[in-house]
Amino acid sequence: MNPFILATLLFGLGMGTTITFASSHWLLAWMGLEINTLAIIPLMARHHHPRAIEATTKYFLTQATAA
């Protein structure tokens, strides 16, 4: 994975966590959690192993159903 993309995803993960912890409204908390989801999915699929892809797909489908 490109180091710039990796740094961007890790920054997004940190930003989403910070927004979630610092939120005073449920909409901001939800937005932070969605940013975390968008950042963690590519990080989970970074290793091209069948189990990593399967876990990523299951996580995405569960999150999409819950949202």
Task: Provide the residue-wise pLDDT of the chain in tens; the chain has 67 residues.
Answer: 789 999 999 999 999 999 999 999 999 999 999 999 889 988 888 888 888 889 889 988 998 888 7
CA separation for the pair 54, 60 (Å, rounded) = 10
| pTM listed for this prediction | 0.77
Residue with tokens 């932070």: 32
Identify the pLDDT of residue 67: 75
Structure tokens at 13: 């993960």
